[in-house]
Amino acid sequence: MRKLIPLFIFLLSVLGAQAQKRVTISGTITAGAKAEGVESATILVGNTGAVSNRNGYYSISLPKGNYQIRFSAVGLQATSVQVSLKADTVINIALQADDKSLDEVTIFANSNRRSLESPQMGVEKLSVKQMNKIPVFMGERDVLKTIQLLPGIKSAGDGNSGLYVRGGAADQNLILLDDAPIYNASHVFGFFSTFNSDAIKDLAVYKGGMPAQYGGRLSSVIDVKMNDGDNRDFHVAGGIGLISSRLNVEGPLQKGRSSFLVSGRRTYVDAFLRLSGDSSINRNTIYFYDINAKITYDLGKKDKLYFSLYNGSDRLGITNNFIVNWGNTASTLRWSHNYSNRLFANTSLIYSNYDYNIQVQQGVNDVNLFSQIRDFNIKHELQWYLYPDHELRIGVNAIHHTVRPGEVTASDRSSYNNTILQRRYSWENAAYISDNWKISNKLNLNYGARLTAFSILGAGDFFNINSAGQVIDTLSYSGGQVVKTYLNLEPRLAASYQLNSQSSVKLSYARNVQNLHLISNSTTATPTDKWIASTNIVKPEIADQFSLGYYRDLSAGKYELTLETYYKNMQNQIDYRDGADVLNGQNNIESQLLFGKGRAYGLEMQLKKQTGPITGWISYTLSKTEKQINGINNNQWYDARQDRTHEIAVVGMYQISPKWQLSASWTYYTGNAVSFPSGKYTVNDRVYFYYTERNGYRMPAYHRLDIGATKKLKQTKKYSSELTLSLYNAYGRENPYTIEFETADNDPNRTVVNQTTLFRFVPSVAYNFKF
Amino acid sequence: MKRYIYIAVVLIGGLFSACEKEIQLDLNSANTKYVIEGMVTDQPGPAIVTITQTKNFDADNNFPGISGAVVTISDNNGPETTLNETTAGRYESTVVTGVPGHSYALKVVVGGETFTAVSTIPAIVKFDSLYVSNEVLMGDDRRVANVMYKDPPERGNSFHYIQFVNGRRTRSLFAENDNLTNGRNVTTQLRVYGDEGEENPIVTGDSIRVEMQGINPGVFLYWFSLQSASGRSNDGAPANPVTNIQGGALGYFSAHNVQVKTVAVP
């Protein structure tokens, strides 16, 4: 592979050398008053075009001549420029925010249009500005919940920010915040995500056909970008909501060049708990906070430094019996350098940490349990625009993982031994190359590959385990010794063919490999879900996804129709053995696991209305997700928990007047596949339930309507404020959170089914300001 | 752990509008299966095996015993002793008395099916003391029984406790092993939570009797995994417990030692 890369570059250079009569237009696209670079802005020149990179740079080569160039980006107003091209030219463009002009009521404006010509498919890009129009849960805008309204992306449960993408499990999403992986993106068991929308600029979700620069998870990439601070003026913005308050401060460090941003949010659910007269409630604590900070520093014309920091933490205390703290820290230092107007480089140093700590106090037993996953990560990427029609990306990435599965410390009088489960070390190294090739005006191809080498390192004991899960052999390795290296080549291919100016077809294939696996035995996102790295027994998970899509603009671009279908094949999927004990205090977690395969396929449709006072979309997903694991369900295929046959989302926004905006969203989905009992019996004079098949039943169908209204209170150049009202589950549908089987309270001779519903008619109000 | 999380989730929901109601579900019926509970102890009194069957979910909770089975137990590969059916579905033998260190093999032939199981009585780990302490359970002040013993240096000791309050058996299931406590002076609290349908909290003047069973790891796994058949859907994947009975029956066969202590609640 290493020898191939220079050869590949050489060949492309030769290709490039044959087309020297062209000239290059390049420049930076920035957003509004901020000099913040806009990623994925579209530059359109006749039938050809380009897309800006993450710093907002673009580069396009054209024969000499006169052109009209159109610049557009998600959430921003498009601008056109007339040029007469004679030599290499630099054009920097500042696009204005869409919602500045209130009369032009276009929330998902033309500028937001998906690209018919780009070979990338299965991608959704959203800016926080757009997402802020959609009704929210408990006054908290949440990017991970908003994307659940898109086809192919499913919520992990009522009010939950966890995601299942195209049949994948919740741990198969690579969630990045400014390049740093976030290992547990939820607060309070998933009711909120770790992303404070004040600090977030935009996000892109890749459901399929992931570009080669992403790797490490099977199902999706959720690439979240933090806001840059304003490098011209100081601003303070904030909000007071039902359960939290937020404050955001930003301003210049060097006027016009460098900036900072600090954003914080803290909830005060515990204040509500204290109001309760019930001692079983008011002695508890529940809260979380998030802090985001970003500095962008201009080192000159060609160099820029970006520093991002995130820290967030939850605390839950059930009196003093049980206190758990958990949280993420992520930090990225990125240096971007322009070698020329066609060659850009990004180098990042990244740190990610997730840990939790549980203190349990039961009589004399005080025990502390700590667990952590920590990464040091270095990434280098070159982006090279080659004449005439190639855009090349070449990168390397090395991540060192340290997993501390569990460390128990206990006092002398306690019943527990101090126990340290073996720390696990690994290197996850990758190199990738991809080329975006405009073969013709109609045909685009993006092809590439990612090579991943996952090396498991000592020191530690590794095991051989028989089919019953018993250890038959222990292998000891010393510090730094390589236990095993898994080498995987992940081909990535995407092609688009434009049928006419209104429609195109695309197809893609991607292989993804995952070497970190989340071991979870609960349907609720719990902080104690455990990340483990691949071992000699736990093999890398592998997914191959094929997808095909049809895209059409209707009524002169008023409506967009998207149809995509996919088939995904998954290897080395993991599940628990029956009776598994994950907190067994042993180093051989493999003894509790079973391995098998999975498959997922589906059809996704979306019709989006882009313009007019009413905007929004309707999406529908038809899908199937199954697993086959020897040792489960008599070795037969069974529906995965997240298998939901039908899923519908309807989202509408209505701008009544410049001051008032209404919004509503309705979702419906087939209930999850679950295991319900098919009988009962008695043991120890108590009734227990008899199960015949895994996930053979369905939860009742889920549906819910949320409504929201936003009123602009004041809008001047210096100061603006707004009031947001929303009602979650507006018609009070009793969607089950759990279904339990138990003996009736009033009749020990009868067994009943009880359903618990968490959220009905949850109103919220939030006040937001900015000056 | 899971219990705390569940309570926290309901607590959060409860701030808003959580509600519980009985619903109707159309559950399949399944072919009946035999359910065997077998016990050999080192105490005076008979070895007991009961045989019942599974029922459909909507049937009542009366589980009649299954008569006519041939039930035998052998001690350390010795001759088989046949148990006598004393009441319908209940088979007993006073001949079989457990000895720590001995293995017992159960064989049940019923309705044309044969089920077998082997279980060994572990060496006795002394039940040192039983006392009552005051604890705050989910915000409520409660009395809790504490069991104390010194765990032996070798790994693999497992225990199952049965708690009686004023002679009535409480419904909570208590089973533990020494994975995290090997070799320690262990204090185990028998905590009873309201959400398991327990009736009254323990109060001054009550009498608590605790039966401590030394069990082998296979039986521990049964008690441990029995939780996943308790009917709560937020446990990832409900499943049948891991039984030590071969041949396709539900239930368990436990050969164990027993120590009992009683304490008056101060």
pLDDT tens-digit readout, A628-680: 999 888 899 999 988 999 999 999 999 898 889 999 999 999 998 988 999 99
B26 touches chain A (CB under 8 A): no
Contacts of A325 in chain B (CB under 8 A): none
Please state, in angstroms and rounded to a whole number, the distance separating the CA atoms of residues B259 and A614. 75
Tell me the CB-side half-sphere exposure of residue A141, using CA atoms within 13 A.
27
Say if strands B250-264 and A443-457 run parallel, antiparallel, or are unpaired.
Answer: unpaired
Two structure tokens written together for A569 = 């094949």
Two structure tokens written together for A645 = 């046959």
Terminal-to-terminal C-alpha distance of chain A: 53
CA distances from A599 to A51, A511, A545, A570 (A): 34, 14, 10, 6
Mean pLDDT of chain A: 86
| Contact yes or no for B228/B238 (Cβ under 8 A) | yes
Nearest Cα of chain A lies from the Cα of B234 at a distance, in angstroms, of 6
B172 touches chain A (CB under 8 A): no
Tell me the CB-side half-sphere exposure of residue A57, using CA atoms within 13 A.
23
CA distances from A325 to A315, A530, A574 (A): 4, 15, 27
DSSP three-state, residue A101: coil
A123-770: CATH number: 2.40.170.20
Q: What phi, psi does A173 have (nearest 5°)?
A: -105, 125
A486/B227: higher pLDDT: A486
B1 touches chain A (CB under 8 A): yes
CB within 8 Å of B168: residues ≥ 6 apart: none
A680 touches chain B (CB under 8 A): yes
Tell me A694's DSSP state.
Answer: T
pLDDT confidence tier of residue A100, bands split at 50, 70 and 90:
very low
A608/A268: higher pLDDT: A608
**Nearest Cβ partner for B239 among A321, A578, A745:** A578
B43-86 tens-digit pLDDT: 988 999 999 999 999 999 999 999 999 999 999 888 999 999 99
Please state, in angstroms and rounded to a whole number, the distance separating the CA atoms of residues A492 and A210. 7
pLDDT confidence tier of residue B7, bands split at 50, 70 and 90:
low
> Percent of chain A scored above 70 by pLDDT?
92
Q: Is B156 left (phi over 0), alpha (psi -120 to 50) or beta?
A: left
Contacts of A694 in chain B (CB under 8 A): 237, 239
Two structure tokens written together for A626 = 């199954």
Contact yes or no for A522 and B237 at CB 8 A? no
Give the number of beta-carbon pairs within 8 Å between A and B. Answer: 280
CATH 3.40.190.10 fits A4-106, yes or no: no
B251 touches chain A (CB under 8 A): yes
Q: What phi, psi does A403 have (nearest 5°)?
A: -115, 125
Contacts of B138 in chain A (CB under 8 A): 280, 318-319, 321
A583 touches chain B (CB under 8 A): yes
What sign has the CA pseudo-torsion A586, A588, A594, A595?
positive
Q: What phi, psi does A480 have (nearest 5°)?
A: 80, -10
A423 touches chain B (CB under 8 A): no
Q: Is the pLDDT of residue A583 over 70?
A: no
CB within 8 Å of A77: residues ≥ 6 apart: A95, A96, A97, A98, A100, A101, A104, A109, A111
pLDDT given at position A453: 97
| Contact yes or no for A525/A162 (Cβ under 8 A) | yes
Tell me B121's DSSP state.
Answer: P
**Nearest Cβ partner for A415 among B60, B181, B191:** B181
Q: Where are the domains of chain A?
A: 4-106, 123-770
Contacts of A691 in chain B (CB under 8 A): 229, 238-240
- Mutation target among B2, B16, B134 for the A interface, most CBs of A within 10 A: B16
Record the pTM: 0.87
- Identify residue A571 by its one-letter amino acid code: Q
pLDDT given at position A110: 35
Contacts of A745 in chain B (CB under 8 A): 197
pLDDT given at position A256: 82
